[in-house]
Structure 1
Amino acid sequence: MMTISSKTTQWGAQLMLLAVAMVWGSSYGVSKSALLWYPVLGFLALRFLITFVVLLPYFLRYSAADRVQSYKMGAPLGILIAAIFLCETYGVCQTSASNAAFLICLCLPFTPVFEWLLLGKPITAQAACCLALAVLGAALLSGFHGQIAALNWGDLLIVAAALLRAIVVTLTRKLAQTNPAPALGLTIVQVGIAGCIMLVLAYTTIPIKQLNLPHSPSFWVNLIYLVLLCTIFAFFAQNWAASRLPPTRVAALMGLEPLFGALYGVLALGETMSTSAIMGAGLMLCAVFGLSGVGNELMRGVWQSRQNPLRSMAASREAGSQ
């Protein structure tokens, strides 16, 4: 029986993941603006290493045991996160935005596969239906359903990123069970490793003149937004929630990222959503509604509300007969 405190923790984790999906959905437009001023690898190195420097004082306050646990859990995850960002960044450059928005949502069906392989948890029929609904919604939202897509290298890189996302979500849960680490300590190790990888790649593949820091205020405003919300908050929230929720549910909530990206385009950039996109958004919300446990709670509440009057009537009749 789940206690009230554990229920509260799970709802808090789900709300945090929704906030992560929201800020990550906005990150595409913000990153696109910043990349007008700086190379991709250099920009990613700045984003991660600035985050690392900001958080390092907090990491040094941890005990030696907590730092060791953070290294053990964060090292493999940091390498995987660097690979995800590389696949996503170069994949988006070589495919259409609609293909990328849909294909990244393939982490939804990938996640229960790794949950079964790494955690031994079989997928339920309800979860399978909700995940299928979410993938269909993503196809409608992105416009992928109207295309005959011949997968190119960019598409394959996005699929690889989706696969790696599913592995990270599930592996975070598994490592939290064997080598639990503080969520903030885990975040610091992850961004430090990812930042170092990006820095090495930047200096070995980009002419040094192109790595001179830009003077544009808009670049630094966008970078600060990405550091504070899309990296520090988002990585901490994801690490904290992923150690407390089933991976399939984490993937479903994070899968709303394209939806929030579309909303950001409408509200901030003046874009419009087609009827099929609105339908897709609705399907994705229904899928998350089912996977998050909200649907079950409401059905249980409706059932109890119907049963209570019947019990009262039965009790009244029994009292009257006595």
Structure 2
Amino acid sequence: MLLVVAVVWGTSYGMVKQAVLFYPVAGFLFIRFMLTFVLLLPALRRCWRQAVVPGLVLGAVLLAIFLCETFGVALTTASNAAFLISLCVVLTPFVEWLMLRRRPENSVFIAAGVSLCGALLLTGGVVIKMNAGDMLILGAALLRAVMVCLTKKLMQHRNVPALALTAVQTGMVAAGSLALLLATRQGIPALPQSAAFWGATLYLVLFCTLFAFFAQNYAVKRLTPTRASLLMGTEPLFGALFTMFWLQESLTPAAWLGGILIVGASVWATRPRRVAVIPVSD
């Protein structure tokens, strides 16, 4: 499920870029997450009390992630943004160690380093000069790591359906986006009439939001945060493949090698381990 999340999130950048050509960023986020919230309202009928506290907390973090990512991309290059977001894979083991008091296995740190090298090759190996946009993207990467670990911490002792949790999260993001839109503009702009805008928005609602957040909330409860992050860390590869086939962009041999390193590190780190069984004599 998390690999499918990485696939659809990899395609989301092109869709978002298309949608924001027709509508302000905050307004687009409000439409996207409000539509998702409305679709998920039935999931809250019987269990809203259990979902509201963790959902509001995680929703606030999610809102911060989207704001940092969206405004950060506008202030830096795409290569820098892709590389810095990939640092989430490297940061997650340390955040897990700090928040959950659980040191990941040594193999996880190795896999995170390999994945980082792969992301660097995939995005061109640029020398990064930190500007305001870079700092926002780096903040988003850290918040992604916090999000995965916080989801694990809040949900491991709660029996909250993943759909109900997703509903509260998306409602929180929609409310925050609307507040930001009202604070920066005089009223809400007229809705776009373009079919391209609504096609991209519906794709993002159904696959990149509704399915992706449900899958993440469901899977993180059953995996360690670091393993979940490594699986979702394949997102830059699928994003590169999407731009190659859909937007007719080409990949260099170094980029292909980087993609192979990312996928290989994720598969190796999440492979089933054999548990040694020591026989006990009577």
**Per the shorter chain, which TM-score range?**
over 0.9
Q: Which residue is equivalent to 1:306? A: none
| Structure 2 residue identity aligned to 1:191 | T
Could you tell me which runs of 5 or more consecutive residues in structure 1 were left unpaired when the two chains were aligned: 1-15, 301-322
**C-alpha distance in structure 1 between counterparts of 2:128 and 2:9, whole Å:** 26
Q: Deviations over 1:197-255 (max 9, x none)?
A: 0001001102336x110111111111111100011000100100011100001101111
Query: What residue in structure 2 maps to residue 305 of structure 1?
Result: none
Offset, 1:178: 2.8
Give structure 1 regions of 4+ aligned residues with deviation exceeding 4 angstroms: none
Q: Which residue of 1 aligns with 2:218?
A: 240
- CA–CA distance in structure 1, aligned partners of residues 260 and 186 of structure 2: 46
Q: For the residues of structure 1 that align with 2:234 and 2:128, how far apart are their CA atoms? A: 23
Distance across 1 between alignment mates of 2:3 and 2:43 = 26
Q: Quick one: which of 11, 15, 25 aligns to 2:10?
A: 25
Amino acid at match of 1:76: V
Other structure's SS at 2:171 match: helix
Q: Which amino acid aligns with 1:239?
A: N
Residue in structure 2 matching 1:282, options 244, 248, 260: 260
Name which of 232, 249, 262 aligns with 1:271. Answer: 249
Q: Distance in 1 between matches of 2:187 and 2:53?
A: 34
Which has the larger helix fraction?
A: 1
The one-letter amino acid paired with 1:285 is: V
Would you say the 8 A contact 1:70–1:181 is kept in 2? yes
Residue from 25, 37, 41 that aligns with 1:40: 25
Q: Secondary structure of 1:208's partner?
A: coil
> What are structure 2's unaligned runs of at least 5 residues?
276-282
Q: CA deviation at 1:123?
A: 2.2
TM-score between both structures, scaled by the size of structure 2: 0.95
**d(CA) in 2 for partners of 1:18 and 1:155?**
26
Given residue 130 of structure 1, which amino acid in structure 2 is its aligned partner? Answer: A
The answer for the alignment partner of 2:119 in structure 1 is: 138
- TM-score normalised per structure 1: 0.83
Q: Structure 2: how far apart are the matches of 1:174 and 1:290?
A: 25
Percent of pairs identical after alignment?
48
Question: 1:1-322 counterparts in 2 under 5 A?
Answer: 16-60=1-45, 62=46, 66-143=47-124, 145=125, 147-208=126-187, 211-293=189-271, 296=273
User: How many residues are paired up?
Assistant: 275
CA-based RMSD: 1.3
